[in-house]
Structure 1
Amino acid sequence: MKKIKILFFVALSFSFFGCSDWLQLELQNSISKETFWKSEADVEAAVNSTFIALRSQVKTMFWWGELRGDFLQVGENAGGDVKRILALQIVDDNGLSNWTGMYTVINLANSVLKNAPATREYDASFLEEDMNAYMAEAYFVRSLVYFYLVRTFHEVPLVLEPSENDDVDFFLGKSSEETILNQIIEDLVWAEQYAKRDFGSLSLNKGRGSQSAIQALLADVYLWAEKYDECLVMCDKIISRSAHALMTPDETKDFSEQAFYDDIFDEGGNSLEGVFEIQYSEVKSQPNPFFDFLIKEPEVLISDTGFEAFEDINDEERGMGVSFDEETLEITKMYLGGSSTNWIVYRYADILLMKAEALVQQGASLKAQKLLNKVRERAGLGGKIVPGDKATAEDMILSERALEFAFEGKRWFDLLRVAKRNNFERKQMLIDKLVENAPAADRDLWESKLSDPMSYFMPIYYKELRNNINLKQNPYYEH
């Protein structure tokens, strides 16, 4: 891993969160550590820098969570990296395996966690409870990034100190998935205690590391780690509050005349349904990237599998004309609100379906059925009977998630989570779904490649291996 020196860049302006008293960090004037970390305002600015850095990684988050699933196909403007991944020709020089930007976010979060406590020595008005709230946000961002990394690469270096001087070990080897997940859980359990519930405005509540955001991430991590009791506890904490709910259709209109997705994505976002949203604002010169690579010069389109999934059940509310264009197959969902559409990481429907999935693992299919049907009925679809057979019930929830969260950066991670459960007990499900999208002549080859579960994780980028002798390539890509 490359040596990265800490630089802070501060400019006082209106925040991307939409609050004038929130400091915005821009990559402009570097400030040394000797003049920084002297006040609460410095800590606040540093926390904000982690969110700005996180926002710069949204395209990577989309690719990592969506590209390898079964709902995308190559668009006419796809680059070589995208084409090779969709063709299952993945090697270590693929630029989409470059994690540098993600570790930049981690480094900024680490700086907050290390330096915030000492700042109180210089600022007597900086209360401990406020310091803990800022640190909770830093833990949240760091944990979110590590969760993306561990789902994408399986094992990665676990860096917990900022690279502020030459005493830091810049050449760490990989830590196991279990070690990283345990660290994430430990950090988030601490953060949940000290995080704020209310930041005083809608955009801040949705865009910062609130207690609800931390609980949503914890629920997701617990579900991935097969800790179902703990997942249910986190889901219930969010469900029991009035701060979040499903956006429902306007009953005064015919279903075909309006879309509840407009309430979730249009006008930028920050609806009652949102739990954590990475904020964008075109008027503040912070537009989202989706128009450029999904519509203007589309790199990917909806696949035949995705198109048919919506068409088969006549899902007009979430499908054609909403999530994608029927004629061009371009993905439109993430641009419903124009360039100010937020990137929604967690929303209330996700909490309901995560809880349903955890309940299925515990044999509580009737309880899971009620949650599944809440989401379906909101979309204008009839209810389903969730059977006691675990695999069939899993597939029902997986199919619903595919439609509800199409192109929200979740499909690949959803497939992988279900496939890997109980030591990859259901890997054939994942293989079958991916092979269905393969050219007929390549299906045997795809089946062979995907028979090794380690092929589901990306290779370590070749430059990282070259720069860090302690890094070892992921096993599948060693030969």
Structure 2
Amino acid sequence: MKTKLKIIFAFILAFAGSSCGSWLEVEPQNDITLEDYWKSKKDIRLALNTSYSQLRGQVNTLFLWGEIRGGFLKDGPDSNTDYERILRLEILEGNDVAKWGGIYKVINYANTVLKYAPTVRSSDLSLGKKELNAYLAEAYFLRSLSYFYLVRTFKDIPFHLEPTDSDDVDIFLEKTPEKEVLAKLIEDLEWAERYIPKNLESAEYNHGFATQAAVQALLADIYLWDEQYDKCIEKCDKIINRSAFVLVEIWDNIFEEGNTVEGIFEIPFDRDRNQKNSLKKVLGETDNPIFTVPEEVMELYRSRDRRKNVTFASLSGGDDGDEATAIINKYYSGSLYNNEDANWIVYRYADILMMKAEALVEKGEFFEAQELVEQIRERAGLGVRVLPEDVERSEDIILEERALEFAYEGKRWFDLLRMAKRNDFKRKDNLIDILTKNVDPGDVPKWRSLLSDPMSYYLPIHFDELEKNLNLKQNPYYE
């Protein structure tokens, strides 16, 4: 039976209530409540746990943002209309997949910790500077992870560094350019890396709470996205050289058990504690799925690839000439869609190896990159795949290898976009090929023309947010 992480839910404050109409969907906090609350380090811990809890509630969003446009999904018999429209590129500003309020709640709780945790030292003398910095580092990690999802999905975004803790706070911000957001995230995380603990009190806590390795993994991801390849390699090497993480020999265990020695940061679930993974709401029932798997995706996997039968489950074999149907099974290998306590894995060791390999390819260091890819393939039961001394051809191999290893882990779309946007979107045609797979063949020329605009790769700002904040400007592609 898998070891599970206990997350405290008992953070009961006025600001954990319902929306008062702000675009952040977080009610400004009452001054009396704040004055009465921040008295001990226990209050800081509870506030941080609330941010983790809110992040747990966003797993469906993280899945959709990272997968729905990545070419690895097609609509099933119980498909959601909003999902169908995205697959067919008919994305409007009323599409609920574009709602970002839940992610901004994670940010707001983290901002609250960053503002008020330092004040606790005046009333709790047991809170030392080192321990306080560790709490602040956790908050920086949660805020930075949330903003990184937002900039990859929407590009330029409202960038709040203060909590909505009073009516004096300006909640109607204009968008901040992506580059400025990334620079601040890097600054915060570089600080956090120095102060966050390397290890926590038990093994399972090292997966479900932010640690130094989690911060380094996030930094590596941001540096790779920002094309700072030497920095990406540096952060990956810090994790690799610690020897604290390894590739799990039995690939199934990563998802069925959770909290393995491969996991770096996981969002934990435990249905026995009513902490249920709600991906079933996105994936649907096994006999009536919301999404199914395109045949060409299944064909990417060799028959001897150990990952294939864990990633997918077949619903019908096409015995009567009908097309075989497969569904996503990665997190539910034990009991199709019933395993509601499967962890959502944000970073694992395989991702570190592949991020470093990609950065090495961009630097022209193909042989060293190939050695890292070989580790992943060997675990999957596959042989050597040579990386040619050609950046674009090796990029394509890295992209395919990442697809095979991380399918349906919320990474596919971001991988595609990261590859496409390099050198001023030099390789956007690859992205356009994938995006146009689900549209009517007669409409492909029209869509290829429209998709030549790089802003089409980002979601629109939902009209609810535009109505609440008149300072927000819509993504120009959707105007």
TM-score normalised by L of structure 2? 0.90
1:253 matched residue in structure 2: none
Q: Post-superposition shift, 1:299?
A: 1.7
1:278 matched residue in structure 2: 267
1:50 matched residue in structure 2: 51
User: Counterparts in 2 of 1:47-446, with a 5 A limit?
Assistant: 47-248=48-249, 260-267=250-257, 269-296=258-285, 297-310=288-301, 313-325=302-314, 327=316, 328-336=325-333, 338-446=339-447
Task: State how far apart, in whole Å, the 2-side matches of 1:387 and 1:282 are.
Answer: 47
Distance change >3 Å, CA 408–CA 315, structure 1 → 2: farther
2:5 matched residue in structure 1: 18
- Report if aligned partners of 2:247, 2:349 keep a CA contact under 8 Å in 1: yes
CA deviations over 1:60-91 (Å, ceiling 9, x no partner): 01100111111110122221111110110011
- In the alignment, residue 421 of structure 2 is paired with which amino acid? K
- Report if aligned partners of 1:18, 1:204 keep a CA contact under 8 Å in 2: yes
Q: Post-superposition shift, 1:372?
A: 0.7
2:25 matched residue in structure 1: none
- For structure 2, the residue ranges without an aligned partner over 5 or more in a row are 17-29, 317-324
Task: State how far apart, in whole Å, the 1-side matches of 2:310 and 2:123 are.
Answer: 56
Task: State how far apart, in whole Å, the 1-side matches of 2:99 and 2:12 are.
Answer: 21
- Report if aligned partners of 1:135, 1:191 keep a CA contact under 8 Å in 2: yes
Distance change >3 Å, CA 82–CA 26, structure 1 → 2: farther
- Report if aligned partners of 1:460, 1:473 keep a CA contact under 8 Å in 2: yes
SS at match of 1:345: strand
Q: Post-superposition shift, 1:34?
A: 1.9
SS at match of 1:329: strand
- For structure 1, the residue ranges without an aligned partner over 5 or more in a row are 1-15, 249-259
Q: Post-superposition shift, 1:295?
A: 4.5
CA deviations over 1:425-458 (Å, ceiling 9, x no partner): 1101111233344332332232122111110000
- In the alignment, residue 340 of structure 2 is paired with which amino acid? S
Distance change >3 Å, CA 343–CA 402, structure 1 → 2: same
CA deviations over 1:226-247 (Å, ceiling 9, x no partner): 0000000000000011211101
- Report if aligned partners of 2:305, 2:382 keep a CA contact under 8 Å in 1: no
- In the alignment, residue 307 of structure 2 is paired with which amino acid? R
Q: Post-superposition shift, 1:319?
A: 1.4
Q: Post-superposition shift, 1:18?
A: 2.9
Distance change >3 Å, CA 116–CA 173, structure 1 → 2: same
- In the alignment, residue 154 of structure 2 is paired with which amino acid? F
Task: State how far apart, in whole Å, the 2-side matches of 1:27 and 1:78 are.
Answer: 37
- Report if aligned partners of 1:325, 1:332 keep a CA contact under 8 Å in 2: no
2:463 matched residue in structure 1: 462
1:251 matched residue in structure 2: none
Q: Post-superposition shift, 1:167?
A: 1.2
Task: State how far apart, in whole Å, the 1-side matches of 2:198 and 2:162 are.
Answer: 28
Task: State how far apart, in whole Å, the 1-side matches of 2:304 and 2:435 are.
Answer: 22
Task: State how far apart, in whole Å, the 1-side matches of 2:428 and 2:380 are.
Answer: 30
- Report if aligned partners of 2:76, 2:290 keep a CA contact under 8 Å in 1: yes
Task: State how far apart, in whole Å, the 2-side matches of 1:292 and 1:154 are.
Answer: 27
- In the alignment, residue 5 of structure 2 is paired with which amino acid? G
- Report if aligned partners of 1:154, 1:457 keep a CA contact under 8 Å in 2: yes
- Report if aligned partners of 1:244, 1:272 keep a CA contact under 8 Å in 2: yes
- Report if aligned partners of 2:79, 2:291 keep a CA contact under 8 Å in 1: yes
- Report if aligned partners of 2:5, 2:268 keep a CA contact under 8 Å in 1: no
CA deviations over 1:273-318 (Å, ceiling 9, x no partner): 10100000011111111234325252211123312222xx325411
Distance change >3 Å, CA 326–CA 317, structure 1 → 2: farther
Indicate the RMSD between aligned Cα atoms, in angstroms. 1.7
CA deviations over 1:370-396 (Å, ceiling 9, x no partner): 001110111001111101110000000
CA deviations over 1:255-286 (Å, ceiling 9, x no partner): xxxxx23210112x000110100000011111
Task: State how far apart, in whole Å, the 2-side matches of 1:172 and 1:270 are.
Answer: 39
TM-score normalised by L of structure 1? 0.90
**Quick check: 190-199 or 333-342, which moved more?**
333-342
Task: State how far apart, in whole Å, the 1-side matches of 2:12 and 2:61 are.
Answer: 20
- In the alignment, residue 403 of structure 1 is paired with which amino acid? L
- Report if aligned partners of 2:87, 2:438 keep a CA contact under 8 Å in 1: no
**Quick check: 328-337 or 41-50, which moved more?**
328-337
